Structures are given as C-alpha cells and as structure tokens.
Chain A
Amino acid sequence: GIQVEQSPPDLILQEGANSTLRCNFSDSVNNLQWFHQNPWGQLINLFYIPSGTKQNGRLSATTVATERYSLLYISSSQTTDSGVYFCAVELGDYKLSFGAGTTVTVRA
C-alpha cells in the first residue's frame, strides 16, 4: 500500500513562532487532507489540498503532487494550535491512508 511519512514526529514551539510540517507520500494521490486532532481527540479538517497552495488564517498548505510531498505552515503559533497534525492521502479508492502524525506542543 501507499506509504505516508510525516516529519518531524514531535515539535515544541514557543508561542508566536512559525513552523513547517512535512508529509511525503509514495504514490500519485487523488486526494490529500490535513487534519488537526485536538486534545479531546476530535479530528478537525484543515485543508483539502491534492495540489496547489491554500491559506486559512495563520495556516497554509502546499502540495507538490509531482514530487509527492505536502507542507503545512503554522505562523504565529498559539497554545490552541497544540495537538497532533495528520496528513492523509487517498488513491482514488476513497480510503484515506494516514501518516503517523506530528505532535505539536506550543508553550506560552
């Protein structure tokens, strides 16, 4: 099956710092989504981004499909950004394959 690798596995930030999370995938994808899992366990949709660049407030994402990677940028981080960020890809079969996640801790 497709391999989805996220890096770094853990990230500790001071409030106000910027960061970049990376997702590499091993095959061409039909869909790529970024999620934030908050401390209560809920999976929150951040981006639907099979290709291109999108921005939503302090978050932005870029997927370079031809090179099989996606980046999630967090700017001016806040303590509420803490949690686990997942990248998930889909090959056209409607099954999302998730990476192992990046655990982000933002300290005040």
Chain B
Amino acid sequence: DSGVTQTPKHLITATGQRVTLRCSPRSGDLSVYWYQQSLDQGLQFLIHYYNGEERAKGNILERFSAQQFPDLHSELNLSSLELGDSALYFCASSPRTGYRSNEQFFGPGTRLTVL
C-alpha cells in the first residue's frame, strides 16, 4: 500500500457525461500528479499540483481540469466524455522537499469506462 488513495476504483459512464476522480496523497506529501494510462498512449503525465498551485501541465485535454484543495486532496474533472477517454487514471504524490523529494508513489488508480 503506497499510502495514496483514489476513489472510485471503477467508473462506468456514457459519452457526453462529466465525472470527478478524487485523490488523497500520502500524509505529508505536498505534490500531487495525475497520469493517464491507455492502451494506445501508454502512461502519460497530465498535470502537477504543489500545495494548491498548478505547477506543470502535460498532455491534458481542455475538457479535463484539476485542482488541489487546502487539505491537499486533489480532484480531476473530466467533461464531455468521449469513448477514447476510457483509461486507467492514476494519482501520485511526492514530498517535493528533502531527501528523495521527487520520488513518486502511485495510488491504485480509477478505471474509467465510457460507453
């Protein structure tokens, strides 16, 4: 168990809908990252938040948005869903300060199926 929690584990929805994925980082970690794993694209970085502020964006679609709250949990919002958004979405966290500050630990993932 990495200490990173994600809910829900599975999500099945229809095209055009909007969903919210939730992540709680390891205790004390200030950085949260979101990654998408799909069969055709592999594991790809989406976005990074540090202590409530967005720090970096990767290949994240405009239909997707995220935020990190004062208690450091994060949410990834996916809207106007398309079939191609079906994937495993991972959240990771890292300390961001101190020894091995950039080592990332991954949650169990949320498997999204868009029908």
Contact = CB atoms under 8 A, between A and B. Distances in A.
B103 A95 contact: no
A35 interface: yes
A101 B42 contact: yes
Interface string A28-58: 0011010100000111110010000000000
B7 to A, nearest CB: 15
B106 A94 contact: no
Is chain B's interface secondary structure helix, strand, loop, or mixed overall?
strand
Contact of B103 (A44, A48, A101): A48
* Interface band, chain A: 20 to 34
| Highest count of chain A CB atoms <10 Å: which of B44, B56, B106, B108 | B106
Given A43-B90, A94-B33, A95-B58, A33 B104 contact: yes
Interface residues of B, number: 26
A96 interface: yes
Interface of B: 2, 31, 33, 35, 42-45, 48, 55-56, 58, 88, 90, 92, 94, 96, 100, 102-106, 108-109, 111
